[in-house]
Structure 1
């Protein structure tokens, strides 16, 4: 098993991409420390034999407490920053409180968790940090200013930490998928429909998949298997990268 003897801390593990990553990592022998805002994360942890730590990543004190408890549970060898949220507003109407909340969850919380877990990885001279970014870390779309700003920042953080940590046997990479079939995307479909004044049934075809060459949503398992590769020894030469899973979106 590829991750036997390794402990992985995964945020946003109660559903979607985070849950899929937890299931794949468990299959490959990893010991799991799972975080989610929702108690559904506890159900996932029980099913996979892992530890659950509930924390609100919109609260910096909660993030610190999460890191401290995770480190008490055992050394964190693999960190997967996956937790996310999305709100859609024209920039002039974007509530400042919502903007700040989104940057905390999507950018500052990953920075905090990297900061707290990196020393142990350096001490053991091995580590994997995987940031679940987005196609929107590379390109922009209307009405998503906070999300896009945060994901662009996450790619910059990924590259910087990769340069700082490389000599310690630690790799730091981001995965940048297009739209994945998750509850978060379902909520985006409804938000886009309201914002654009079109039926929800048209959002996927006219907005989400219009620039893509492959006309389908990505499945969470596809992202999870890619994360497994980046966490494995096979990817030891890959760091500071933005791994694009964009259905051919940026090929144009």
Structure 2
């Protein structure tokens, strides 16, 4: 049974990815900086007769990632799939933003994925296979007003994904990227507090006339995490209802 290490799996899209992969037979390492949220995700998976364990992991700290990876390897024996989902943003005009916000955005959204890949890819090389799915954002492909540094970080994730995919192909490790558009998540609700009316405006702009649901993104991630995607690597798959067609 394959083991999936999912960051930020305590809520939102990460939680839904965990539930979706558990439903497809994966053993789930639910990692999150919020231990109580992670425990709630584990309980939901176990209620569906899935297998999951919670692990504390602060992706902004390399030592925390290394500790979590050791604990997951000891518990499950391997890490077959890495889902880099942990993320955070604050919508505001760039010139009104502050360095502390920039640092937090970059540390969570970009450095977090660098930390997990640096730690877990060697384990996958030793195993002789593995899959990595990095969560980016369409803001990293086309830009987004009020999200300058977040867009920069997510653009970095996309470029990082392509380069690592090239380096890992010889080891039979697939590295791909899912790039969501606006999604109905707790983070988006938090963002909406800064920018009232954004949800309505985006819904009107999306051809399917709705925000993405966590399930929409989780299903795309699940595809890239399974053998069905064995010949796909270095790709960025937008899940955005047609808002941006790139």
TM beyond 0.5: yes
1:122 aligns with 2:125: yes
Partner of 2:114: 111
For residues 1-252 of structure 1, the aligned pairs below 5 Å read: 5-38=1-34, 39-48=36-45, 49-73=51-75, 74-193=77-196, 202-206=197-201, 208-251=202-245
Compute the displacement of 1:223 (Å): 1.1
Partner of 2:48: none
Compute the displacement of 1:232 (Å): 0.8
User: Is contact 1:9-1:79 (8 Å) kept?
Assistant: yes
Deviations 1:67-121 (A, max 9, x none): 3333333311100000111112222221111111111110111111011111111
Compute the displacement of 1:58 (Å): 3.3
Q: Distance in 2 between matches of 1:70 and 1:16?
A: 22
Compute the displacement of 1:216 (Å): 0.2
Q: TM-score, normalised by structure 1?
A: 0.89
SS at match of 1:158: helix
SS at match of 2:9: coil
SS at match of 1:52: strand
Compute the displacement of 1:14 (Å): 1.1
Structure 2, unpaired ranges of 5+: 46-50
Q: Distance in 2 between matches of 1:235 and 1:96?
A: 39
Q: Let me know the Cα RMSD of the aligned residues.
A: 1.6
Q: Distance in 1 between matches of 2:23 and 2:61?
A: 32
SS at match of 1:84: coil
Q: TM-score, normalised by structure 2?
A: 0.92
User: Is contact 1:71-1:117 (8 Å) kept?
Assistant: no
SS at match of 2:142: coil
Query: 71-80 or 226-235, which moves further after superposition?
Result: 71-80
SS at match of 2:237: strand
Compute the displacement of 1:142 (Å): 1.5
Q: Distance in 1 between matches of 2:62 and 2:170?
A: 29
Deviations 1:147-195 (A, max 9, x none): 11110000011001100011211111111111111101111111112xx
SS at match of 2:163: helix
> Number of residue pairs matched?
239
SS at match of 1:249: coil
